[in-house]
Amino acid sequence: MRKGYLTMAYFFQEPSHTFSEYLLVPGYSSEHCIPANVSLKTPVVRFKKGEECPLTMNVPMVSAVMQAVSGEQMGIALAKEGGIAFIYVSQSIESQAAMVRRVKNYKAGFVISDSNLRVTDTLADVLALKQRTGHSTMAVTDDGTGTGKLLGLVTSRDYRVSRMDPDAKVADFMTPVEKLIYAPEGTSLKTANDIIWDHKLNALPIISEDGHLVSFVFRKDYDSHKGNPLELLDGQKRYVVGAGINTRDYDVLVMDSSEGYSYWQKHCLEWIRAKYGDTVKVGAGNVVDGEGFRFLADAGADFVKIGIGGGSICITRETKGIGRGQATAVIDVAAERDKYFEETGIYVPICADGGIVQDYHITLALAMGADFCMLGRYFSRFDESPTSKILVGGSYMKEYWGEGSARARNWQRYDLGGAAKLSFEEGVDSYVPYAGALADGMATTLAKVRSTMCNCGALTIPELREKAKLTLVSATSIVEGGAHDVLLKDTTNGNQRG
């Protein structure tokens, strides 16, 4: 008999578990353990012991790299709340880059103008530009660019569509530069905001010595920051946003692949490091054990995603028989992450991607070692997801489909070589209950996370890991944990599913 015929597959001794099979056991809560004192700040990318992480989030939540979840509106809304959206990859590079650019330009302190006109343009041109960019403040420059000599401004107060000829020239209805209040190049953001408030302006042009437009400062950006103290900004006061890439597309931020323990991910990471060094921050995955984590960490991943087959629209486990219970996967990978840190002095954050059904599962994932969670179904329910809101059976729903579904046509995500097509589906097309505005939903979810952390005596995520006590629960205990033996008057309570 040839060698190898008598070998056996490796068997894990313990069954794998989901988040729903665990509960947190309360610990001592001091008088300081109140939700207002909880910090949810968490690292996103790798860093060395003794150094500051170069990219952190104010809340441990990112949106999934999915057509039905992460468009530009999600990018803006999630950054306002302190998280990061990863703009979906299954579109052209130009389209994806434009989405990222619009998120970055939405709030930037000093904003380079991308809505510009010439004096010879018409009202019809103004309306077309507004339709294309969504901006109502437009610079009029000598060459029609964002850095030309400023001649005036056009805002919605300068024209009335119902009373004006579409062929009316911009020169005839713009506010000329002589009547504008502006500030010189080099003005600080604080001073610019003071000028805006003192003169009751919506926008302040910043002008160079020779009269050329440099940038704008907008009142809405100041108001936005005051209303969203946790919003996540880069060094230029722009929203932080991520973008997905397929393993073989060699771009930036996070690889969107169903299984990350592969030659292709290593090859992609090596290419990025050779071309860009450490300047490009890129996450990799997905994996479900310590071995897979170690492989990607050694290859240079800035963070590693955990989870195969645990998403609500994912059917990888039933079609291919691969995967692992998400709770067990997180615990295993977290242990390897800590071991890797002890050996190398490099901390590589891990992301629990999938398997989050209830809000408290986020807290469980953090207690088990995850640095942050990636959610698809949770975010797909909100106004800001790019899908349609429709009426189904008397209830409002939103469409939600997996990247492995025929509708998504994202065959690259599952590509292992061969024909450039999706050979079989690993995702479904579905509906999820409409949940309103993202800000309201996240406020409720994060209130639960902070409250549970206080019950465990923890005010930070690292402290939660240190103090958390976890217990497996029986099937009967799971039933006991919800409302039971009563007839509910209202089933729409605050226990929203994530």
State the Cα–Cα distance between residues 304 and 306, nearest whole angstrom: 7
H/E stretch holding 116: strand 116-117
Q: Is the CB of residue 385 less than 8 Å from the CB of residue 74?
A: yes
Question: What is the per-residue burial (b if ≥16 Cβ within 10 Å, else e) of 1-18?
Answer: eeeeeeeeeeeeeeebbb
Question: Nearest Cα to 298, choosing from 329, 261, 323, 334?
Answer: 261
Q: Which two tokens stand for residue 497?
A: 């599913």
- CA atoms of 61 and 303, how far apart (whole Å): 14
Active site residues: 314, 413
Q: Which residues of 86-116 are buried (b: 16+ CB within 10 A; e: fewer)?
A: bbbbbbeeeebeebbebbbbbbbbbbebbbb
Both tokens of 246, joined, read: 């397929």
Tell me the C-alpha distance between 159 and 175, whole Å. 10
Phi and psi angles of residue 35, each rounded to the nearest 5 degrees, phi first: -55, -35
* Sign (positive or negative) of CA dihedral 269, 330, 71, 447: negative
- Structure tokens, 214: 């440099």
Residue 286's SS3 state is: strand
Taking CA atoms, 233 is separated from 70, 105, 220, 391, in Å, by: 18, 12, 15, 36
Name residues whose C-beta falls within 8 Å of residue 299's C-beta, 6 or more positions apart in sequence: 265, 266, 269, 270, 284
What does the alpha-carbon distance between residue 458 and residue 38 come to, in Å, rounded to a whole number? 8
Please count the helices (runs of H) and the strands (runs of E) in the chain.
15, 24
Tokens representing 424? 């079989």
Structure tokens at 192: 């610019």
